[in-house]
Structure 1
Amino acid sequence: MEKLAFTENISDKNIGSYFKYLVNKTYKILPLKEEAINKKSNDSYFLYLDGLMAELSGFQFLFGIIDSEPKMMDYFNIIAYLRWDDKYTHRECKSEVFKAIRILNDISNKNGW
């Protein structure tokens, strides 16, 4: 995959900040799922996950993060699972969200971000 020239000037510090931002966005899944359960409607929850998936696709396109960090594929897969399989319990959702956050933190720590 061809990388865009302007991404070469983005520092590791910026990437680290983005990973922290992703952790926060991932954590936000939990209250949205709780709200979806209470309202008996997944519309807002799925809309949020759709937006997160679009953002992750752009991140992959710009930086090819999966090429350099294969564990990022695990993170993408968790988000896709949460979006496309709505049969899981709140407890399972919580477990997957914290697993995804752990993946982001592990990658960030490994790279000194």
Structure 2
Amino acid sequence: MIEVKYENIPDEMLVNYFNFLIGKVYKILPISEKEPDTLKEYLESLILELRGSKELISKLRNEGSFISLLSIIQYFIDNECTHRELKREVFKSIDIIQKLQKKYDFK
């Protein structure tokens, strides 16, 4: 169980959420290739969710690597990126999420 703002969340639910989050971050790549006009809207929705997660899950509030994840997504929103940059940073973001899973035993 992990403490969140309103109650405790079972570990299994957090495992599922972090795996779901990896999929959402990975989805940036196909959207950027097939539906580039919708990418900014998708990223804005994703960062909104990440900010909410940071407030909801107490362990993430002061986690530097989570701030790094937020920063990468915010950079995508604010700047034009090449496909190569997007790909590199998407996989970097996935690595950050996986390290958070291991650090807090959400695996």
The TM-score bracket by the shorter chain reads 0.7 to 0.9
TM-score, normalization by structure 1? 0.82
**What are structure 2's unaligned runs of at least 5 residues?**
none
Q: Which structure is larger by alpha-carbon Rg, 1 or 2?
A: 1
DSSP 3-state at the match of 2:61: helix
Does structure 1 residue 66 correspond to structure 2 residue 66? no
What's 1:39 paired with?
none
Q: CA deviation at 1:58?
A: 1.2
Q: Percent identity?
A: 36
Cα separation, 2, equivalents of 1:90 and 1:15: 30
The amino acid of 1:12's aligned partner reads: D
Q: CA deviation at 1:54?
A: 1.0
Cα separation, 2, equivalents of 1:53 and 1:111: 21
Does structure 1 residue 89 correspond to structure 2 residue 89? no
Give per-residue Cα distances to partners, 1:18-45, cap 9 Å, x unaligned.
1111100000000011124xxxxx4311
Cα separation, 2, equivalents of 1:21 and 1:53: 14
Structure 1 stretches of 4+ moved >6 Å:
none
DSSP 3-state at the match of 2:105: coil
Does structure 1 residue 5 correspond to structure 2 residue 6? yes
What's 2:44 paired with?
50
What is the Cα-based RMSD across aligned positions, in Å?
1.5
Aligned residues: 102
